[in-house]
Amino acid sequence: MKNTLIDLFERSAARFCDNTFLLEKRTDRFEPTTYRQAQARALEIGAGLASLGIAKGDTVSILAEGCNDWIISEIGIFYAAGVSVPLSIELEETGDLTFRLKHGEVVAIFVSPSQYRKVDAIRDRLPRLRHVILFERVQGMRPDDMTLGELERRGRELLADYERKIELLTRARNIQNDDYATITYTSGTTADPKGVVLTHRNYTANVEQALTQVDVPEWYRTLIILPLDHCFAHVVGLYIMCHQGATVATVQVGRTPIENLRNIPVNIREVRPHFLLSVPALAKNFRKNIEATIAKKGRFTELLFRHALRVAYAYNKDGYLRGTGLAGLLKPLVALYDRILFSKVREEFGGELKFFIGGGALLDGELQRFFYAIGVPMYQGYGLSEATPVISANSPRHHRFGSSGRLVEPLDMRIVGGNGEDLPVGGKGEIVVRGENVMAGYWRNPASTAETVRNGWLHTGDMGYIGEDGFLYVLGRFKSLLIAGDGEKYSPEV
């Protein structure tokens, strides 16, 4: 069955047309954009790109902070049947940014005002780059560059021509499952980054798979605090929400990176999300801020909070065995502490937060126990960009500290020993998976593709095992993979 990202988006735009899709704060409050409104803009952007000569399969980048324009521009790229190349705003133009734009053969790029200087400084080294589209006009921009508003105006002019409108819609709706959707670059230390090519079906399949583990009702809200070029945020924060007709908010863009970070706690209280995506660095900061707030309440409150944590830890055990045995006797005390202490902590997260989903690097078990105790569990998942990315996840239905949860479905997994043999339950070896979420390959890198995907099986390079309890446990890397606290993977190739 054909199911592309355009198919997914158009179904949601039809079914949930008046639901709020996006929330964005530009001035003093968050303003909603419905699915119907987002579709209208995405169509205009797609038509605008087509008017510039963007053809099926052309690569178009986005270099910007997370915002409505980011999300709608990517959907617009898909309406033009282009391939999105999302880029991190942390990239510097002298090396990594130049490489990605050249290697990705990017012909057009959407940029925010804060990122324009980077692109302008290197465009002479990018012979394929024909169009630079700014989200907002900036002083000193080149005359042949255009704003997103100008692109949308071009799109409206094209859509006013009935035949050209039908041609655009036909182009978008003729995208097939195996057509490329995105190229996501992983970071290299001693070797060039690899471009992970994900198809439309990779995305829609992983959305369907992830929803077998985590329930997301259409009334849910999330605030995306991870970069949208992060594969984890892309799928779980954006396209799962879109599939369900739910609401996606983005952090208010500040004048500086520090201001962006300071906006996060304020925006969380304003949006009142039902779940948040996190990586270890964010989790540690959240805990640090919570404990600092408690300390300001005085010595007695701090001691009471620590005792409440110890009681909750004893009651919760490893999550899977919560409240079993003699620990069940602690339930009334846990409920009391929740009412007088932990519920107040949750108010700082808006009061509606039900859980975090943890991705990127493995989350420390102590952090998992802490957030579980205060009533907003941080459910560890496992995945990698080459698997679009979700492979397994803990969830409200079944979870165990120290594990990476249960496999998404449908997905085949093998644990393979050093000689290529399949290992039984409990056997520790390389995690190897097969499913519709496995990447098409690495962009312009057939050798690495052949090494990583063999006969349809993705060799992750991660060591782990399946426990008797059915949970996946990830132990580390077969090869030396460095994982930063923000979840970014750095692969030394020697």
Q: Is residue 286 part of a domain?
A: yes
Say if residue 389 is preceded by a cis peptide, omega within 30 of 0. Answer: yes
pLDDT above 60: residue 489: no
pLDDT of residue 483: 47
Mean pLDDT confidence for 252-263: 92
Residue 29 is predicted with a pLDDT of: 96
- What pLDDT sits at residue 362? 79
Q: What is residue 95's predicted lDDT score, i.e. its pLDDT?
A: 84
Question: How many domains in the chain?
Answer: 2
For residue 380, what are the β-bridge partners? 358
329: tokens are 């006797």
**Mean pLDDT throughout 99-122?**
97
Looking up residue 335, the CATH number of its domain turns out to be: 3.40.50.12780
Is 429 contained in some domain? yes
Q: Is residue 51 part of a domain?
A: yes
Alpha helices per DSSP H over 238-393: 240-244, 257-271, 280-296, 299-316, 331-337, 343-347, 365-373
Q: Is the pLDDT of residue 190 over 80?
A: no
Q: Does residue 225 fall inside a structural domain? A: no
**Residue 125: partners with Cβ closer than 8 Å, 6 or more residues away:** 98, 102
What's residue 490's pLDDT? Answer: 42
Looking at the fold, whether 31 and 170 belong to one and the same domain comes out as yes
Assess whether pLDDT exceeds 80 at residue 216: yes
In a shared domain, residues 24 and 171: yes
Decide if 405 contacts 393 (C-beta within 8 A): yes
| Whole-number Å distance between alpha carbons of 70 and 86 | 9
d(CA 151, CA 323): 58
**Average pLDDT score, the chain:** 94
Q: Which residues sit opposite 63 in a β-bridge?
A: 87, 111
Predicted local distance difference test score (pLDDT) of residue 360: 74
> According to the model, what pLDDT value does residue 361 have?
75
- Domain boundary, last residue among 128, 149, 176: 176
pLDDT digits (tens, 9 = 90+) for 124-159: 999 999 999 999 999 999 999 999 999 999 999 999
Q: Round to whole Å and give the CA distance between 94 and 474.
A: 36
Q: What is the CA radius of gyration of the chain?
A: 23
Task: Please check the confidence at residue 492 and state whether its pLDDT lies above 60.
Answer: no
Q: Comparing C-alpha atoms, which of 124, 70, 71 is closest to residue 93?
A: 124
**What percentage of the chain reaches a pLDDT higher than 90?**
89
Angle at 127 (CA atoms; ends 122, 133), nearest 5 degrees = 65
Sheet of 489-491: strands edge to edge?
A: 187-188, 489-491, 482-483
Q: How far apart are CA 53 and CA 62, in angstroms?
A: 18
Q: Which of 372, 373, 359 is nearest to 483 (CA)?
A: 359
- Residue 56, C-beta contacts closer than 8 angstroms, at least 6 positions apart: 80, 81, 82, 171, 175, 179
Name residues whose C-beta falls within 8 Å of residue 373's C-beta, 6 or more positions apart in sequence.
Answer: 308, 309, 312, 313, 316, 342
C-alpha 148/C-alpha 339 separation (Å) is 49
DSSP annotation of 215 reads: -
Give the whole-angstrom CA distance, residue 387 versus residue 255. Answer: 35
pLDDT confidence bin for 265, thresholds 50/70/90:
very high
pLDDT tens digits for range 382-428? 999 999 999 999 999 999 999 999 999 999 999 999 899 999 999 99
Q: How far apart are CA 232 and CA 388, in angstroms?
A: 8
In which residue are the tokens 């670059």 written? 185
Residue 249 maps to a domain: no
Do 295 and 423 belong to one domain?
A: yes
Instruction: Return the SS3 of 432.
Output: strand
| pLDDT, position 494 | 27
From first CA to last CA, the distance across the chain in angstroms is 42
For 133, the domain range is 5-176
Give this prediction's pTM: 0.94
Check which CATH number belongs to the domain holding 103 and give it: 3.40.50.980
Beta carbons of 3 and 9 less than 8 angstroms apart: no
CA distance 305 to 395: 26
Strand partners of residue 20: 34
Confidence class for position 229, pLDDT limits 50, 70, 90: very high
Of 122, 119, 123, the C-alpha closest to 138 is: 119
Q: Three-state SS for 157?
A: helix
Residue 163 within any structural domain of the chain: yes
Same domain, 171 and 307: no
Sign of CA dihedral 142, 144, 147, 148: negative
Longest dimension (CA), the chain: 73
b/e 129-138 (16+ beta carbons within 10 angstroms → b): bebbbbbeeb
Statement: residue 189 has pLDDT above 60? no
State the pLDDT at residue 493: 34
- Domain C-terminal end among 176, 194, 211: 176
Count Cα neighbours of 141 within 13 Å in the Cβ-side half-sphere.
20
DSSP result, 8-64: HHHHHHHHTTTSEEEEEESSSSEEEEEHHHHHHHHHHHHHHHHHTT--TT-EEEEES
Q: Which long-range contacts (CB under 8 A, 24 or more apart) does 69-72 make?
A: 69/110, 69/112, 69/135, 69/148, 70/110, 70/228, 70/250, 71/22, 71/38, 71/228, 71/238, 71/248, 71/250, 72/22, 72/38, 72/41, 72/42, 72/45
Task: Assess whether 463 and 347 both reside in one domain.
Answer: yes
Instruction: Return the structure tokens found at 391.
Output: 């492979």
Amino acid at 104: G
| 212, 215, 221, 226 alpha-carbon torsion, rounded to 10° | -40
- Asked whether residue 263 is domain-assigned, the answer is no
Q: Are residues 288 and 164 in the same domain?
A: no
The predicted-structure confidence for 308-359, as pLDDT tens digits, reads as follows 999 999 999 999 999 999 999 999 999 999 999 999 999 999 999 999 999 8
Position 93 confidence tier, pLDDT thresholds 50, 70, 90: confident
Answer for the pair 203, 181: CB distance below 8 angstroms, yes or no. yes
Tens-digit pLDDT profile for residues 121-131: 999 999 999 99
Report the C-alpha gap between 384 and 187 in whole angstroms: 13
Last residue of a domain, one of 160, 176, 192: 176
Same domain, residue pair 169 and 287: no
Q: Is residue 46 pLDDT above 70, yes or no?
A: yes
Residue 63 lies in a domain: yes
**CA–CA separation, 302 vs 341, rounded Å?**
10
Mean of pLDDT values over 196-222: 97
